Amino acid sequence: MILVLTSLADQDAVAFAKEFGGAVAISVLTCRDLAENHTALRYPDFASSTLTVDRRKIAIGEIEGVINVLPAVFPEELVFFPPEEREYQAAEFHALLTFFLSGLPCPVVNRPAAGSLSGPYLNPIGWYHLAQRTGIPVSPIRLDTENFVNPFAASCDKPVIAVTCLGDRVIAPSGTTADRDTIALSRQAKVDYLTVLYTADEAGRPQLAAVRAIPDLRDGVTRRALIDYLRGHRAA
Amino acid sequence: MILLWGLLEDPTFRSVYDWLRELRANVAFVNHAAVGRTRIGLSSSPKLSYKLCCERHSYRLDTVSAAYLRPYDHRHYDEFAGLGGPQQSASHADIVHQLMHVWAEHADAVIINRPSAEATNHSKLNQARFLRACGFLVPDSIITNDLSEVRYFLSRHGSVIYKSMSSVRSIVKELHACMLDSLGNIGPALFQQRIVGDNLRVHVIGEKVFSCLVRSPSIDYRYGPASLETAHLPDEITARCITLARELGLVVAGIDLIATPEGKYYCLEVNPNPAFSFFELSEKNDIAQAVAQALMLG
């Protein structure tokens, strides 16, 4: 079974599960599902853990892959808890999901890291640091907490190249050095999926402008690639 | 230059500050209570560099050799909260925090502790994987909202505690079977086999280890009467603590152990930002001195 871990209001995930539901066992999982249906995650005996998916109790071993489009648990998401409990419960669910996703033996796109549920960084500047350390040019940014203007909002408006990689393979190539750089960045970040937006410098060379570590389920190429990737792991 | 970001009213932070002054270190103290008046600038060319300004002082963060960061929840004392709209003032402090966070993660300096290392405590059971990999025993645990699972877990272990599974502070309490009948629906919660034995708090600073035996009748000694005395750990356990802190990426760690009467050592969790002043057994504040010395090596 493939799980799509997402937020309550994510209709793209529901549509994705519906699109491929005839070909593979695929279900959407939210924090509400984990809270309102029986969940039992054990340690050290993690393999004996169970959760409820589509009203059926499943063992951890039945999960063949996870597509994770939930970078963090926000209190606002947890409408099924009283308002005064939501901030505490958000931290608790973050802890639960970190434990759950980190321990799964199947592929998780993407697996949590210390910084976020979907990879190493929530903050875009973290990706800039990693890119510079990897030798990837970054587009110039400047910011000041006085008169703060989000520099990433501006750079995302004018990308000239978008490259997506999944499992060491570029699924939407650009035919430029950005393809190689995107793979290098995903390896450094130890994530399976990455979309990197680049702008061009004065000589037309790509410079990293923004990074998305959450699979874009509105994109048909990405949807197909995700299913093939997880099926490929199952076959292997 | 050694950067200190915290509150001088915090005894742990203050003890490190005092030792650094005693050791005549070049210290830049940035008052965390002034986060609303703290300004950070960032430029990406030729490489990412940060400049921090606070209370008439200005620091280039790439000149920092080491930093001790002990920020609090700024919402509790942000003096600008509520002025000009709560959203606006909160976002300024939030951005300062985020920039300090990202700087600390990537700085070429000794950082006590890097955010990614601190975050290993944000999921106690995920951290338990590290504890076990380093050779410690860990209590049998379950995260569940299924009361029949809780009953079975309790009958299996006889004595069970419950606590938060995140780094949010909670009081550790014992679970009794009679409590389950009145619980109703619960969200997933962490239940753990209760380990009975001597509570030990071990502070690791690099290769230095300070062990403390905590005697208390309470399950959670932080919320009951407690007395402290020096503990002597077997060499093997001391070495394991040093390895664990290193594996977690922590320069300073507060490790909670329980030594059972049978001589087994369970590790409960590792606190990545320990309030070690509570555990100082010498009047000289030896732990703080070791932290100050670790910063001076940066």
CATH number at residue B217: 3.30.470.20
Interchain contact, A123 vs B44, CB within 8 Å: no
The number of C-beta contacts closer than 8 angstroms across A and B is 149
Residue B124 in any domain: the answer is no
Among candidates A35, A98, A103 on the partner chain, residue whose Cβ is nearest the Cβ of B187: A35
- Output the six-digit token pair for A134: 């990897």
Q: Are residues A58 and A111 in the same domain?
A: yes
Whether residues A68 and A142 share a domain: the answer is no
Same domain, B214 and B232: yes
Q: B151 and chain A: CB distance < 8 Å anywhere?
A: no
Average pLDDT value over all residues in chain B: 92
Residue A157 has pLDDT above 70, yes or no: no
Nearest CA in chain A to B249: A114
Residue A159 and residue A231 in one domain: no
Please check whether residue B37 touches A, CB under 8 A.
no
Shared domain for A107 and A9, answered yes or no, is yes
Residues 6+ positions from B148 with CB-CB distance below 8 Å? none
- pLDDT score recorded for residue A123: 85
Q: Do A144 and B141 touch (CB under 8 A)?
A: no
The beta strand positions in chain B, using DSSP E, are 2-6, 27-31, 39-43, 49-54, 57-60, 66-69, 110-112, 141-144, 160-163, 173-175, 189-193, 198-205, 208-215, 227-230, 252-259, 265-271
Q: Chain A contacts of B124, Cβ < 8 Å? A: 95
B142 touches chain A (CB under 8 A): yes
DSSP label at residue B168:
S
> What pLDDT is stored for residue A30 in this prediction?
97
- CB contacts of B117 in chain A (<8 Å) are 114
Q: How far is B129 from chain A (nearest CA, A)?
A: 8
In CATH, what number is assigned to the domain containing residue A196?
A: 3.30.470.20
Contacts of A42 in chain B (CB under 8 A): 140-143
A-chain residue closest to B124, CA distance: A95
* Angle ∠(A61,A65,A67) on CA atoms, nearest 5: 140
Please indicate whether residue B56 or residue A158 has the higher confidence score (pLDDT). Answer: B56
Q: For B165, which DSSP code?
A: S
List chain B residues with CB under 8 Å of A114. 115-117, 119-120, 122
Helix axes A11-20, A220-235, angle to 10 degrees: 50
How far apart, in whole angstroms, are the C-alpha atoms of residue B120 and residue B137?
18
Instruction: Please tell me whether residue B5 adopts helix, strand or coil conformation.
Output: strand
Which residues share a beta bridge with B252?
B205
Q: Are B209 and B255 part of one and the same domain?
A: yes
Report the alpha-carbon distance of residue B124 to residue B109 in Å, rounded: 27
Q: Looking at the complex, does the CB of residue B81 fall below 8 Å from at least one CB of chain A?
A: no
CATH number at residue B107: 3.40.50
- What digits encode the pLDDT tens for the residues B2-46? 999 999 999 999 999 999 999 999 999 999 999 989 999 999 988
- Tens digit of each residue's pLDDT (9 = 90 or more) over B142-191: 999 999 999 999 999 999 999 999 999 888 999 998 888 887 778 899 99
Domain that holds residue B90: 2-113
What CATH number is given to the structural domain containing B188? 3.30.1490
| Residues A111 and A6 occupy one common structural domain | yes
| Residue B66: inside a domain | yes
- Residue of chain B nearest A42, judged by CA positions: B142
* Per-residue model confidence (pLDDT) at position A153: 65
Question: Is the CB of B48 inside 8 Å of chain A's CB atoms?
Answer: yes
Residue among B126, B129, B136, B156 with most chain A CBs within 10 A, to mutate: B126
The pLDDT of residue A211 is above 60: yes
Please state the domain count of chain A: 2
| Number of domains forming the structure of chain B | 3
Pairing of β B265-271 and β B252-259: antiparallel
Position B85 scores a pLDDT of: 45
pLDDT of residue B88: 46
Nearest by CB: A102 against B45, B126, B141: B126
Contacts of A117 in chain B (CB under 8 A): none
- Note whether B185 and B201 are same-domain residues: no
DSSP B196: P
State the average pLDDT over residues A5-26. Answer: 94
List Cβ neighbours of A182 (8 Å cut-off, separation of 6 or more). A163, A164, A165, A170, A194, A196
B-chain CB neighbours of A146 within 8 Å are 39
**CB contact (8 A) between residue B166 and residue A94:** yes
CB contact under 8 A, B99 and A125: yes
User: How far from A196 is each of A181, A211, B103, CA to CA, in Å?
Assistant: 9, 5, 22
Band the pLDDT of A81: cuts 50, 70, 90.
very high
Three-state SS for chain A is CEEEECCCCCHHHHHHHHHHCCCCCEEEECHHHHHHCCCEEEECCHHHCEEEECCEEEEHHHCCEEEECCCCCCHHHCCCCCHHHHHHHHHHHHHHHHHHHHHCCCCEECCCCCCECCECCCCHHHHHHHHHHHCCCECCCEEECCCCCCHHHHHHHCCCEEEEEECCEEEECCCCHHHHHHHHHHHHHCCCEEEEEEEECCCCCEEEEEEECCCCCCCHHHHHHHHHHHHHHHHC
**CB contact B135 to A (< 8 Å):** no
Q: What are residue A3's DSSP bridge partners?
A: A27, A66
